[in-house]
Amino acid sequence: MDDLKILRAAWEEPAPAAAAARASARARLLELAGARGAGQEAGPRRRIWQPRMRLWLAAAAVAAATAAAVAVLVAGPAATAPATGAGGLPPVTTAYVIGRTEHALAAAEHRNLIERVRTVSQGSGTGFIILGPGPGRSAVVPQAVSWYYRGMFRMAGFTAAGRRVFDASHTDRYGPERVTISSETVNYISRTWWRGEYQGSRAGLTPAWSLPHSCRAAAPPAPANSPGSNWPAETRRALSCGTYRVAGTGWADGVRAIKIVPRYQPPPRGLQPVSQAVWVSRSTYLPIRVRWSWPRGHGLPDASLTGDFTWLEPTRANLASLRVTIPHGYRQLPPDVDAGAALLWNPGPVRASMP
């Protein structure tokens, strides 16, 4: 008899998962998937929430969580603007704006600019999660500041009151066949920190943004980076696929801006829409604000996720923003590459369809 078959046969089939355990795990997953919002319990066990977290999340102040940084204006590549329109601004045609925006993002990448995003979630179902390691160490918070620079990523999560809950760095290095992922995470609730490192085959870990160009997967990306994502690259891909059109002009974050929105078909009857808008600077054509919003239904308030962008020169001081500082006296936990921070991006019961 084949030794693998013997190995299978010698172990009797384990008893199936208890129905209660399965139901509980499924309910918790669905709970995390949108039935509840930031500030409420999340994760596989209710006990993973720190009771005091709810108190923090109940506060309604604004986060004051930004590292000192030098903002720069990026002059986009020379382009011939159309004739000036009303208000001294060029008329905004979709082709012109999309082309300039795509070009500005490419130039930002070429100039190695650091992308910094301050993202705030409102309503329910979305936030930033720190996972473990282990029970009692996971939490969801409603706002975060993230930095992204050439595969290096850092995200600091805050309560609504601005209290820092976690700080996590994450670096992906993709070789032709291998990938190295390293992370460093500080949990300010449990006053612990840990590192994680994964080295292995690139198989199965190719991020969507680096796949061969295809408009099939060019859905507008979420309005915030998360470990492993590359917002500028994903947005450029969506732009090049004709996913966006100009929807107007206005102001965003104190800057004159052009609003672009995805070209969506109306959702099928009975299904609720997700809306997304990107505001790009009228001077640099770099994104300055992205906002997703969706109705929650089921008696829950509407929800949104808004990210405000700053594009930073890669100076020594700004690059230092990508590093996590371990506070003195915090306890180091064993390495764990699975535990860390992530964007919890949950439109929940919304249905939508791509044209």
Partner 1 sequence: MATVTPGLAARQASDAAIIQQSWLESERFAAIFDRYYAQIHDYAARRLGQSLADDVAAEAFLIAFARRQRYDISRPDARPWLYGIASNLIARHNRAEVRWYRALARTGVAQADQGDVERADARVDAQSQRRLLASALAQVCDADREVLLLVAWAGLTSGEAGEALGIPAGTARSRLHRARKQVRAVLARRPAITEGETGRG
Site for partner 1 in 183-212 (CB under 8 A): 198-201, 203-208, 211
- Can you count the helices (H) and strands (E) in the chain? 6, 15
Residue 340 host element (H or E):
strand 340-345
Tell me the CA distances in angstroms from 48 to 53, 129, 133, 143, one per residue in order: 11, 12, 10, 20
Structure tokens at 158: 């805050």
Beta carbon nearer to partner 1, 100 or 237: 237
Q: Is 342 in the site for partner 1 (CB under 8 A)?
A: yes
Question: Exposed, middle or buried: residue 145 (CB in 10 Å: 0-12, 13-18, 19+)?
Answer: buried
- Phi, psi torsion values for 300, nearest 5 degrees: -95, 150
In three-state secondary structure terms, 249 is strand
**What is the Cα–Cα distance from 268 to 70, expressed in whole angstroms?**
46
Crossing angle of helices 94-110/231-240, nearest 10°?
150
Binding flags for partner 1, 266-285, as an x/- string (CB under 8 A): xxx----xxx----------
Decide if 188 contacts 166 (C-beta within 8 A): yes
- Minimum gap (Å) between residue 71 Cβ and partner 1: 28
Tell me the CA distances in angstroms from 267 to 259, 262, 271, one per residue in order: 21, 13, 6
**What is the Cα–Cα distance from 230 to 171, expressed in whole angstroms?**
12
Going by the DSSP 8-state scheme, the letter that residue 35 receives in this structure is I
Q: Is 218 in the site for partner 1 (CB under 8 A)?
A: no
Length of the chain as a residue count:
355
Q: Is 103 in the site for partner 1 (CB under 8 A)?
A: no
Q: Is 34 in the site for partner 1 (CB under 8 A)?
A: yes
Beta carbon nearer to partner 1, 77 or 200: 200
Applying CB under 8 A, among 91, 99, 151, 228 the residue interacting with partner 1 is 228
- Minimum gap (Å) between residue 348 Cβ and partner 1: 6
Name, in order, each residue with C-beta under 8 angstroms of 39's C-beta and a sequence gap of 6 or more: 54, 57, 58, 127, 140, 142, 160
- Minimum gap (Å) between residue 279 Cβ and partner 1: 16
- Minimum gap (Å) between residue 273 Cβ and partner 1: 4
Beta carbon nearer to partner 1, 318 or 346: 346
Residue 292 β-bridge partners: 276, 305
Applying CB under 8 A, among 16, 87, 299, 329 the residue interacting with partner 1 is 16
CB atoms within 10 A of CB 199: 11
> Is the CA virtual torsion 258, 263, 266, 267 positive or negative?
negative
Applying CB under 8 A, among 161, 255, 326, 352 the residue interacting with partner 1 is 352
Beta carbon nearer to partner 1, 138 or 310: 138
- Minimum gap (Å) between residue 81 Cβ and partner 1: 29
Q: Which of residues 152-181 bind partner 1 (CB under 8 A)?
A: 177, 179
Q: Which of residues 299-338 bind partner 1 (CB under 8 A)?
A: 336-338
Number of residues that bind partner 1 (CB under 8 A): 83
Beta carbon nearer to partner 1, 80 or 265: 265
Applying CB under 8 A, among 37, 127, 227, 307 the residue interacting with partner 1 is 227
Beta carbon nearer to partner 1, 65 or 337: 337
CB atoms within 10 A of CB 248: 12
Q: Is 131 in the site for partner 1 (CB under 8 A)?
A: yes
Applying CB under 8 A, among 123, 127, 223, 262 the residue interacting with partner 1 is 262
Q: Which of residues 229-248 bind partner 1 (CB under 8 A)?
A: 229
Beta carbon nearer to partner 1, 187 or 281: 187
Q: Which of residues 63-92 bind partner 1 (CB under 8 A)?
A: none
> Is the CA virtual torsion 27, 270, 301, 341 positive or negative?
positive
